[in-house]
Amino acid sequence: MNKDIQVSISQKDDVSILNIKGDVTAITGESIEQAYQKVSTGGAKKILLYFDQDGYINSGGIAILIGIASESRKNGQTVRMTGLSGHFQKIFNMVGLTKYTEIFQTEELALKDF
């Protein structure tokens, strides 16, 4: 059941975009962490996590994202998020993740003034 995610990396100007298609869980999190490490190693300072509106995110996935948010602070990176459903925007607010990574309604808004 570990075929539930696809993570690809794209670049728009100086922003590295992690396109996350599928579920964000403790099981699939390794793919996201690997993509994050790859862009970090490449010197990325601006990172956009672009989620799948229909994806399933659980507490294990939230922990993965907290780990990335924490590491990005140490690395002096800015991480933004987009593509989240209203429910998961609410969940991320609830746990406090949005204190550290801002959510944008569209990719265009997320990239503006990054």
Partner 1 sequence: MMADNRVELHIPSIMGFEKVAMECSASVAKKMGFTEDRIEDLKTAVAEACLNAIEHGNKLDTSTKVGVTLTVGETKLQVAVKDEGKGVGEISPPSIENKMEGKDKPRGWGLFLIKNLINEVTFEPSPEGGNITKMVIYLEK
Residues forming contacts to partner 1 in the complex (CB under 8 A) are 1-2, 4, 25-27, 56, 58-60, 62-64, 66-67, 69-70, 73, 85-87, 91, 94-97, 99-100
According to DSSP, residue 45 is labeled: S
> Smallest distance from the beta carbon of 10 to partner 1, in angstroms?
26
| C-beta closer to partner 1: residue 58 or 78 | 58
Q: Please say which residue, 12 or 90, places its beta carbon nearer to partner 1.
A: 90
End-to-end CA, the chain: 36
| Nearest alpha carbon to residue 114 among 7, 14, 2, 4 | 14
Residue number, 63 or 111, with CB nearest to partner 1 = 63
Minimum Å distance from CB 109 to partner 1? 23
- DSSP H or E segment with residue 90: helix 86-95
CB atoms within 10 A of CB 19: 17
